[in-house]
């Protein structure tokens, strides 16, 4: 074995021994004077004994036992110990999480409230289930299905709205068309002629009044006939627009409710990918950095 290999083995053994010593010292310090608590989850999320317990982001203890709860085997009981001065209270909530994206699972205890009574040794800390990646994927799938249903509904409703709008426009065109305008103009011309010749046709006043009444009745009938379909079309159009507005508002609410989770997940995945790429590049260029901290000097060529 070369001298460099011996030095490398010695350095690695020293590092392992130092890490083991630090771990044993910290474990001995942590176990001294600890107060035991417990909590329960439906999904422990990979928690194991000796995992860290953090209160308000500060490491205050460790997990001692993870097992099915004897009172209800469908739930997982987590027994953990914390420093006696830790102010865990009735409003504190236990959650499963990780400090970093690639870190090991840990038990997080929220600070709770200052006015809440303190918990005693052996008490149960209220728990809150954390969202797993499977649950997040399921919710994303539900949102995608809802969006697809919304698009299908819009595709089905938009043609109906278009048809109704065309019907309304057709009715308006019929009301203001050239034929009706000509009829009204002709009626006004006849009425003007009758008024100018009133003195000359006093004898024929009764037939003239009858003709005017018939003309007005025809105009009123035409307007009444067009008014009913127009009102029905406008009512149907309003209902269709209201339904479309409700669908759009529902889609926007779903998107806003999940926007923050989507952004946070994408940012975490992007940061992890960049870290893995940087580590891979460094290992490709300097594989000796796994056991050495500095590169040996180049050997001189003998003359």
- H or E segment and range at residue 40: strand 35-41
State residue 106's pLDDT score: 92
Q: 3-class SS at 112?
A: coil
Residues of the chain with pLDDT under 50: 29-31
State residue 176's pLDDT score: 65
Cα of 25 vs its chain's centroid, Å: 45
CA distances from 273 to 123, 152, 276, 285 (A): 42, 36, 5, 19
State residue 33's pLDDT score: 60
State residue 219's pLDDT score: 65
Q: Which tokens go with 90?
A: 């009735």
| 3-class SS string, 55-96 | ECCEEEEEEEEEEEECCEEEEEEEEEEECCCCCCECCCEEEE
State residue 94's pLDDT score: 93
């Amino acid at each position: 074995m070369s001298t460099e290999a011996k030095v490398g083995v010695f350095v690695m053994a020293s590092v392992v021994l130092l890490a083991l010593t630090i771990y044993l010292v910290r474990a001995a310090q942590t176990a001294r004077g600890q107060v035991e608590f417990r909590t329960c989850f439906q999904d422990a999320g990979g928690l194991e004994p000796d995992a860290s317990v953090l209160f308000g982001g500060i490491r205050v203890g460790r997990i001692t036992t993870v097992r099915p709860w004897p009172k209800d085997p469908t739930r997982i009981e987590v027994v953990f110990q914390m420093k006696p001065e830790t102010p865990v209270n009735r409003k504190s909530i236990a959650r499963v999480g990780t400090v970093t994206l690639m870190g090991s699972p840990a038990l997080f205890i929220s600070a709770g409230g200052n006015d809440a009574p303190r918990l005693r040794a052996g008490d149960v800390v209220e728990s809150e289930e954390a969202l797993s990646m499977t649950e997040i994927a399921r919710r994303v799938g539900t949102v995608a299905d809802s969006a697809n249903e919304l698009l299908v509904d819009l595709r089905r409703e938009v043609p109906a709205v278009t048809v109704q709008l065309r019907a309304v426009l057709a009715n308006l065109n019929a009301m203001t068309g050239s034929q009706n305008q000509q009829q009204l103009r002709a009626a006004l011309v006849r009425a003007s002629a009758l008024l100018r010749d009133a003195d000359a046709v006093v004898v024929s006043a009764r037939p003239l009044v009858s003709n005017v009444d018939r003309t007005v009745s025809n105009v009123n009938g035409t307007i009444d006939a067009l008014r009913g379909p127009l009102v029905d079309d406008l009512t149907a159009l309003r209902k269709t627009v209201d339904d479309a507005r409700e669908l759009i508002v529902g889609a926007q609410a779903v998107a806003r409710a999940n926007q923050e989770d989507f952004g946070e997940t994408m940012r975490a995945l992007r940061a992890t990918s960049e870290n893995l790429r940087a580590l891979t590049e460094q290992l490709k260029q300097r594989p000796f950095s796994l056991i050495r901290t500095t590169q040996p000097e180049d050997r001189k060529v003998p003359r």
